[in-house]
Structure 1
């Protein structure tokens, strides 16, 4: 499908998403960075799923954030290992395994099926 996008990812500074600060899942707590960059969702065309597109999108999102001066990038994925019945629609935040395989680490679990994961740029 030359020239037709097969997926996209949303990435921007946390402060650009006012809903994140209000959400019980993503609100800032403790010593969280005040304004990290956030990868909030992915969309991959059905016929291109399970081909590494989301991984490439996440890599691109992190590279873009770093090029804009980010030192911390967060994701708010779901964990299908905890609840295998998660539908495709519920996985638009990405999965814990996707973020883990891309160098993110879990910093907290605000619910059984959700994680706050963080990538920190090397100094």
Structure 2
């Protein structure tokens, strides 16, 4: 006969402690920030990127490349690390909207200014 383990209330601390611990693991971003993340899903319309935010960042397929009508599977792969620019902190679904192509423009511009 097995018994269900008993979890003491003090094992997880107070609700405030729990929320503070979660908040400490979430990074904050602003529009225009360059971020680095890992591709977690590639779809025809969008790519999902884990950047350490409360939800995955989303790169619409039109923001992957300067080429039009590109297949996202030809540009990125699951598990790949990429740099992206934050276009919008949160859309109506609470997701970060990112751009790979604009991050490339930003990186190139910074390289030019640095020379």
**Which TM bucket (shorter chain)?**
under 0.3
Task: Calculate the TM-score normalised by the size of structure 1.
Answer: 0.24
Task: Calculate the TM-score normalised by the size of structure 2.
Answer: 0.25
Q: Which has the larger radius of gyration?
A: 2
